[in-house]
């Protein structure tokens, strides 16, 4: 029996796992997909919000600001992409200035530092590509961008090094309350390295529900007070690195009666990202992009910057956010759960079951603080001792494409596979791909390699490198190339050429 089982391997679940791994607890994380970071965490804006948007007095506000302040130190400790580039909220109408002042005042109450309202001229002075129609802007120097992929993977790997067991392709299909613990029914799906499918039970004294879009399904297995999550789809356009310096900061538009705009932001990989749209849908797996959505992005983005180089789009994608449309009370140490807020706490009619539900924006920014907050709830339940052997750092190499020539030569001397460039767009080497496969919570799919190394993220979108990536995965894991998938089983790239009889 585990002390704790965490359900969900997104950025929140992995952050919780990493934070709790500092205690003497037996912990497992169950994730239904073939890798961590396969849900909301893989398709978002990559923004570390400063914290002026969330309503004062909510968990969103408190944990956003706290998480934002934690992120830079964590990036150095765990080695994920982070840059404090700042953000701006643009106002285009003199009649809307009061709304910008409201954001400013709210940010001060929430504890955001160094906020300033700029005139249109001042805004254009630091971001010359903005529209000349900008009359004023809220400038938040503490706003930042983060790599959501390596953030999630870094949390998972560090948790694994510190003793957390990660069980991928393990879907929770039922939960029963028993005396002093929970019995969790699991379906173990086939994976690249383990083709067996089976159903079995796990047991845990405490269950933490960090299942993202499916947190309602997991909650409703144990509680009579039902909740409901509606997916909100957001579509994006990703531009080439040649457009990455078009703006230096994350550029938002002030929401008005005409609706909420879209953002323009640099990414930690050097690209430019534009979007998202926001559409409530029913299907929790529907991540299609649409002509309507991409047209909306184009129409709204040029309001902020007429010259945004949309002709340099290299791909489009969409992600789903977990909007809590029906909630219930949970036992919350700070009694903060309010309408539209995160829902974090112990479920009253399911003692030992902790909900971490409705984690929509700014969930990525708040993830480290959410983990810290959940750990305090666990501490009150179990008072676990700290490990003397806890390792807070994650050892990482400087990526080959970022290293100077001297360092590159040292890498190649250490491992000749560093001299073999697999992804030409992003300068990713064979050694880096092999290391990603062999790492804790190692990659077994093409998408998992992409998230860890960047191979396939460039202009050709894996058109040249993916066949080689498939070969390397096949060789490193001793499996047929026909079995290698893009993500989950069923997304194989190749067929064996045998016709069904």
Q: For 68-86, what is each residue's pLDDT tens digit? A: 999 999 999 999 999 999 9
Asked whether the predicted pLDDT for residue 338 surpasses 80, the reply is: no
Query: Cα–Cα distance between 393 and 398 in angstroms, integer?
Result: 15
For 87-141+230-322, which CATH superfamily applies?
D-Amino Acid Oxidase, subunit A, domain 2 (3.30.9.10)
Asked whether the predicted pLDDT for residue 158 surpasses 50, the reply is: yes
pLDDT-derived band at 329, boundaries 50, 70, 90: confident
pLDDT-derived band at 492, boundaries 50, 70, 90: very high
CATH number for 2-42+149-227+327-382 (one of 3.40.640.10, 3.50.50.60, 3.30.70.270, 3.30.56.10): it is: 3.50.50.60
Q: For 418-441, what is each residue's pLDDT tens digit? A: 999 999 999 999 999 999 999 999
pLDDT for the residue 150: 97
3-state SS assignment for residue 41: helix
Residue whose C-alpha is closest to residue 168's, from 367, 35, 52:
35
* pLDDT above 70: percentage of residues in the chain: 98
Terminal-to-terminal C-alpha distance of the chain: 46
Model pTM?
0.96
Residue whose C-alpha is closest to residue 357's, from 217, 187, 181:
217
pLDDT for the residue 259: 61
Task: Locate the domains of the chain by residue range.
Answer: 2-42+149-227+327-382, 87-141+230-322, 400-483
Asked whether the predicted pLDDT for residue 201 surpasses 70, the reply is: yes
Q: Which residue has the higher pLDDT, 332 or 234?
A: 234
DSSP 227-250: -EEEEEEEEEEEE-GGGTTS-SSE
Whether the Cβ atoms of residue 170 and residue 32 lie closer than 8 Å to each other: yes
Query: Cα–Cα distance between 501 and 487 in angstroms, integer?
Result: 28
Mean pLDDT of all residues belonging to the chain: 95
Decide yes or no: CATH 1.10.155 for domain 400-483: no
What dihedral angle (degrees, nearest 10) is formed by the CA atoms of 87, 92, 93, 97? 10
Catalytic site residues? 49
What dihedral angle (degrees, nearest 10) is formed by the CA atoms of 91, 95, 100, 105? 170
Asked whether the predicted pLDDT for residue 457 surpasses 60, the reply is: yes
Asked whether the predicted pLDDT for residue 272 surpasses 70, the reply is: yes
pLDDT-derived band at 336, boundaries 50, 70, 90: confident
């Amino acid at each position: 029996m585990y002390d704790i089982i965490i359900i969900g391997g997104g950025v929140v679940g992995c952050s919780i796992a990493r934070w709790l791994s500092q205690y003497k607890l037996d912990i497992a994380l169950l994730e239904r997909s073939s890798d961590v970071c396969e849900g909301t965490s893989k398709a978002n804006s990559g923004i570390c919000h400063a914290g002026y948007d969330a309503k004062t007095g909510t968990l969103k506000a408190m944990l956003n600001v706290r998480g934002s302040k934690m992120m830079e130190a964590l990036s150095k400790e765990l080695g994920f992409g982070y840059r404090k580039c700042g953000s701006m909220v643009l106002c285009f109408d003199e009649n809307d200035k009061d709304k910008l002042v409201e954001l400013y005042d709210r940010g001060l109450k929430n504890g955001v530092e160094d906020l300033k309202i700029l005139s249109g001229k001042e805004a254009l002075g630091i971001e010359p590509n903005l529209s000349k129609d900008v009359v004023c802007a809220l400038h938040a120097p503490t706003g930042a961008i983060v790599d959501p992929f390596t953030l999630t993977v870094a949390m998972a790997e560090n948790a694994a090094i510190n003793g957390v067991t990660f069980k991928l392709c393990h879907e929770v299909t039922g939960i029963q309350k028993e005396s002093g613990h929970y019995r969790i029914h699991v379906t173990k799906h086939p994976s690249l390295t383990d083709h067996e499918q089976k159903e079995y039970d796990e047991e845990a004294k405490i269950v933490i529900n960090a299942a993202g879009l499916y947190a309602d399904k997991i909650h409703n297995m144990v509680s009579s007070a039902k909740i409901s999550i509606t997916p909100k789809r957001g579509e994006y356009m990703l531009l080439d690195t040649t457009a990455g310096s078009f703006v230096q900061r994350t550029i938002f538009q002030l929401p008005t009666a005409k609706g909420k705009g879209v953002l323009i932001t640099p990414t930690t990989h050097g690209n430019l990202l534009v979007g998202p749209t926001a559409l409530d849908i029913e299907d929790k797996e529907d991540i299609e992009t649409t002509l309507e959505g991409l047209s909306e992005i184009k129409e709204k983005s040029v309001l902020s910057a007429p010259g945004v180089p949309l002709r340099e789009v290299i791909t489009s994608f969409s992600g789903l956010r977990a909007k809590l449309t029906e909630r219930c009370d949970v036992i919350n140490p700070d009694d903060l759960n309010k309408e539209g807020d995160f829902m974090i706490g112990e479920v009253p009619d399911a003692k030992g079951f902790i909900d971490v539900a409705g984690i929509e924006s700014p969930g990525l920014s708040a993830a480290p603080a959410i983990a810290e907050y959940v750990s305090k709830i666990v501490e009150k339940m179990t008072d676990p001792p700290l490990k003397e052997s806890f390792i807070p750092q994650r050892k990482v190499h400087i990526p080959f494409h970022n290293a100077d020539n001297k360092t590159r030569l040292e890498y190649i001397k250490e491992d000749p596979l560093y001299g073999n460039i697999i992804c030409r767009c992003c300068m990713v080497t064979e050694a880096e791909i092999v290391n990603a496969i062999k790492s804790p919570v190692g990659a077994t799919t093409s998408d998992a390699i992409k998230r860890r190394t960047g191979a396939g993220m460039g202009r050709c979108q894996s058109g040249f490198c993916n066949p080689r990536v498939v070969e390397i995965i096949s060789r490193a894991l001793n499996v047929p190339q026909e079995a290698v998938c893009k993500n989950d089983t069923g997304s194989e790239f190749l067929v064996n050429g045998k016709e069904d009889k």
